[in-house]
Structure 1
Amino acid sequence: MNPLYPADLRHILCLGAHSDDIEIGCGGLMLSLLEANPGVQVTWVVFSAAGERRAEALESARKFLSGGAHDVRVLSFTDTRFPEERSGLKAQFQRLSAACEPDLILTHRGDDEHQDHRVIQELTWQTFRNHWALEYEIPKYEGDLGRPNVYVPLSAEAATRKVELLCSSFQTQQQKPWYGENTFRAVLALRGLECRSASGFAEGFYTPKTVFSPRPRPDRSGERGRRVQVKRQVRMPERSADRKGGL
C-alpha cells in the first residue's frame, strides 16, 4: 500500500454520490487542507446532480476549493438508482483511475444505509486498491452514524465556514427538516468531544486499512523525480485519451 506523508500530499480525490455529500462529509477537512497546502490539486467528482442541483454542486465546489484551478466533475447518474447503474459507474471509475493518481481519496463509508453511498464506497476500493482512503459519514434519519477510527480536529473558523457554506449553497435542500446548522454543528461537536479537539469541533472518518512504519521517512527526492518523469512519458497520452471520453 502506498505510504502517505503530509509533505507528499499533492493530489486529493473527492468522491460523492450526490451534490452535497462531499461538503457534509469532509468539507472541514478540505477547507483545512487547502489552507495549509494551497498547492494541492483536487479532483472533485459528484456522480448525481441534475438541473438546479447541478448548478448548486458546481458553485459549492468552487467555494470549498477557494476557486482554484481544480478538476470538478458533475455527472448525471440517477439518484437512488446506483445499484442498477453499477456497470456504468464502474466504467467511470476506470476512466478516473486512468486519469489521476491521488495521494488521498475521500469517499463514502461502507456501512452507510443509503444504497448510492454504498455503491460508491465499493467501487472506490475495487478501483483504487493501493491508495489511502478515508470514508466520511453523512447524518440521516436512519441513524447510521458509527464509531470513527480517524478524527480530524477543526479550527473554530473552519467549522463555522463549513456550516455557513452548506447552509447557503444548497437552497434545494432547505425544505428538509434535518438539513441545517443545528445538525451540522451537532455532528462536528460530537466528534470534537470524542477526540478532545481544542476547538470543540472535528470530523470523523473510517479507514479499513492502515499501514504503520516504525522507520523514518525515506529520502525519495531523486526517486520521485524519476517517477514523475516516467509518468510524463508514459501515462500522459493515456490520460489525454481518457479525458476526451469525459467523466
Structure 2
Amino acid sequence: MRSVLAVGAHPDDIELGCGGTLAAHRAAGDAVTMLVVTGGQNGPGVTAGRRREAEAAARALDCLLIWGSLVDCEVSPDAATIALIERAVAETEADVVYVHAPDDSHQDHRAVAAATISAARHGRRILHYRSPSTTRFEPSLFVDISAHLNRKIDALSCHRSQVENSAMVDPEVVAASARHFGAQARVRYAEAFVPARFVWDLAAPPSLPDLVEVPAFAAVSRAAA
C-alpha cells in the first residue's frame, strides 16, 4: 500500500488536477490525503461554504482532507509554507506527492508548487498536475482514469460555488480534458502529469514455487480423456 499526498492551493484545485488519479489510488487500496493550503477566501462563494464543499468532495473520493492556514492570493514559497507542507509529508509518510505545475498564471499555484518541491525534497515520486490556469504543460506520465472519471466529476460537483461560476469546472470540459489526455496515452480517459522526480521501483517479484513434475502417465491419461 502506498501513501499519497495531493497538495492544492485552493478548494477544488486537487479534484480538477488529479481527482481521477486519487480515486484510482483508493481503488488500489492506497491511503490518500488532500492538503488544501488556503480556504479560497478570494474565490466565488464564502469561506465556510467552500470548506463544506471541499469536505464533501473529499468524502466522495474517500480521501482524508487537511487544511492549511494560509490566505488565498497571499501564498509565498517561504519557510512557513514549506514547513506547512513538510509537516503533511512527514505525517502521511507520503510515497507519492501530487502538486500544481510550476508554470501557472496564478501566483498561489506557483508558490505552492515551489514550496512543495522543497518540502518533498527527499521524496522519490513528485508529480505536477495541470490546472486551468497552467501556462506550459508537457506531460510524459499518464494515469488511466477510465474507470474513475465519473467519481472525479462527482467530487467536482460538490464544489457548487465553483461549478456555477467557472466554465473550467463544467463536467463537459472536465471530460473533454480527460479524453484529450486519454488519446495521448492511448486509453479512453486519462490524467496527465509532469514528473519533478519519479523513481520506478522494479523490485523482483516473489519467487514462484518449484514446479512439480507431472508423471508421464498422467499426461497420457488426460490426453486420452
Tell me what 1:235 maps to. Answer: none
Aligned-pair Cα RMSD in Å: 2.2
Q: Which amino acid aligns with 1:149?
A: S
Instruction: Write out per-residue CA displacement over residues 114-162 of structure 1, whole angstroms, 9 at most, x where no aligned residue.
Output: 111111111111111121111111123xx6252211011122x411221
Instruction: Please state whether the residue corresponding to 2:169 is helix, strand or coil.
Output: coil
Shift of 1:217: 3.3
Query: How far has the Cα of 1:216 moved from its partner?
Result: 4.4
Given the alignment of the two structures, is residue 30 of structure 1 paired with residue 22 of structure 2, yes or no? yes
1:178 counterpart SS class = helix
Letter in 2 for 1:89: T
Report the alpha carbon displacement of residue 19 of structure 1 after superposing the two structures with TM: 0.5
Letter in 2 for 1:26: C
Decide whether the 8 Å contact of 2:103 with 2:135 is kept in 1: yes
Counterpart CA distance in 2 for 1:165 and 1:94 is: 26
1:43 is aligned with what amino acid?
T
**Alignment partner for residue 33 of structure 2, among 18, 22, 43?**
43
| 1:102 pairs with 2:119 | no
Partner in structure 2 of residue 152 of structure 1: 143
Q: Is the counterpart of residue 81 in structure 1 residue 74 in structure 2?
A: yes
Do structure 1's residue 170 and structure 2's residue 162 form an aligned pair?
Answer: no
- Retained in 1: the 8 A contact 2:56–2:155? no
State how far apart, in whole Å, the 1-side matches of 2:168 and 2:86 are. 35
User: What is the CA deviation profile of residues 99-118 of structure 1, one whole-angstrom value per residue up to 9, with x for unaligned ones?
Assistant: 23211111111112211111
1:46 counterpart SS class:
strand
Whole-angstrom distance in 2 between the partners of 1:42 and 1:137: 19
C-alpha separation between the residues in 1 aligned to 2:150 and 2:79?
A: 39
> Given the alignment, which residue of 104, 126, 133 partners 2:118?
126
Is 1:208 matched up with 2:196? yes
Q: Does structure 2 conserve the Cα–Cα contact (< 8 Å) formed by 1:149 and 1:207?
A: yes
Whether contact under 8 Å (2:145, 2:190) holds in the other structure is yes
Alpha-carbon offset, residue 212 of structure 1: 5.4
Contact 2:6 2:97 in 1 (8 A): yes
Q: Which amino acid aligns with 2:88?
A: L
Q: In the alignment, which of 54, 61, 65 is matched to residue 64 of structure 1?
A: 61
Alignment partner, residue 137 of structure 1 = 130
Q: Is residue 126–residue 195 contact of structure 2 (8 Å, CA) maintained in 1?
A: yes
1:29-71 alpha-carbon deviations (Å, 9 max, x no partner): 111121122xx22222111123211111111111111xxxx54
Report which stretch shifted further, 201-210 or 186-195.
201-210
Q: Which residue is 1:117 aligned to?
A: 109
Aligned residue for 1:208, secondary structure, equals strand
Equivalent residues of 1:27, 1:162 under 8 A apart: yes
8 Å CA contact 2:26–2:32 kept in 1: the answer is no
Q: Percent identity?
A: 30
Aligned length: 197
Q: Report the equivalent of 1:217.
A: 204
The match for 2:174 is 184
Moved more, 127-136 or 89-98: 89-98
